[in-house]
Amino acid sequence: MALPPVLTLEEAQSAAPRPLNISEIFVSVQGEGRYIGVPSVFVRLNGCNLRCVWCDTPYTSWQPQGDDYMMGGLLSDIRRHWTKHVVITGGEPMLQPSVVLLTERLKEQELFVTIETAGTVYQPVKCDLMSISPKLANSVPHRREGGRWAVRHESLRHRPEVLKRLMTEYDYQLKFVVQTPEDMEEVNKMVEDLGAEKERVVLMGEGIDPGTLYERAQWIVEHCKRWGYRFSPRLHIDLWGNERGK
């Protein structure tokens, strides 16, 4: 039997998986969507290609903060917790190349993996649920930081070809963050254009305090009843406000 070729140092380094830049790892209950209330390990990857004006995790986008984790150490941290559900979130987790290997390793351990993504980037990850949150026009930062991110954000926030591929290849849900009833025209058009199944469409209010979410829920529920969409609260906001790591 022929021996495997000997790699140079440069080849070995390039073949090794890149570290993942992680903003935080914590255990909580899923606060949104299909698996609301399920205890889960959240792995929040750092970095985002968008700049939503109302972003509730600015430490992954507007002011990114994170540490590098090698795969072995990250997997060990995740497995310290008993829950079988792992949520890979961000930021935009699909930006980091090693997210594919991470999901493969997690599935090898028979864990239930959810990916939370804006649906602007495709990677061949392994997951049980692709939780896609397409960004509406209400996310564009027209005035924040002088509007310097607005044009880039607008050009990237809606990628129909990526959305359709994710919806075709994975079990999915579409989560829309809405602020006013006027947002529903854009939601309905996007759902129709994508050919999404209505029972997979989730509406939830934008907000980082329970009072705002309660007020918006009153009209959002009516639209869910009208159009056949699902309503989702933001359970983590109701329980802990916008406290990090909850």
pLDDT at 3 over 50: no
Q: What is the largest CA-CA distance in the chain?
A: 70
Q: Please report where in the chains the tokens 């994508």 appear, as a residue.
A: 194
pLDDT at 11 over 80: no
78: pLDDT confidence band, cut at 50, 70 and 90? very high
Which CATH number belongs to the domain containing residue 148 in this structure?
Answer: 3.20.20.70
Q: What is the rounded average pLDDT of the residues 185-195? A: 98
pLDDT at 145 over 90: no
Cα Rg of the chain, angstroms: 19
Q: Kindly give the interhelix angle for 183-194 and 210-227, rounded to the nearest 10 degrees.
A: 50
Assigned domain for 121 exists: yes
Question: Which pLDDT score is estimated for 7?
Answer: 43
Assigned domain for 7 exists: no
Q: What is the rounded average pLDDT of the residues 52-74? A: 94
Q: Is 93 within 8 Å of 78 (Cβ atoms)?
A: no
In Å, what is the CA distance from 163 to each residue of 17, 81, 170, 190?
Answer: 27, 32, 11, 10
Assigned domain for 149 exists: yes
- Closest alpha carbon to 187 in 201, 199, 200, 173: 201
Assigned domain for 9 exists: no
Q: What is the rounded average pLDDT of the residues 104-120? A: 97
Assigned domain for 209 exists: yes
Alpha helices in the chain (DSSP H): 9-15, 71-79, 99-108, 150-156, 160-169, 183-194, 210-227, 235-240
- With residues binned 3-state (H G I as helix, E B as strand, rest as coil), the percentages for the chain, rounded to 5, are 40, 20, 40
Assigned domain for 216 exists: yes
Output the average pLDDT for the chain: 92
Question: Which pLDDT score is estimated for 4?
Answer: 44
pLDDT at 6 over 80: no
Assigned domain for 2 exists: no
Q: Show the domain range for 96.
A: 18-240
pLDDT at 240 over 50: yes
13: pLDDT confidence band, cut at 50, 70 and 90? very low
Assigned domain for 132 exists: yes
Question: Which pLDDT score is estimated for 153?
Answer: 97
Count of structural domains within the chain: 1
For β-strands 112-117 and 172-178, DSSP reports them as unpaired
pTM greater than the 0.85 cutoff: yes
Q: What is the rounded average pLDDT of the residues 108-137? A: 97
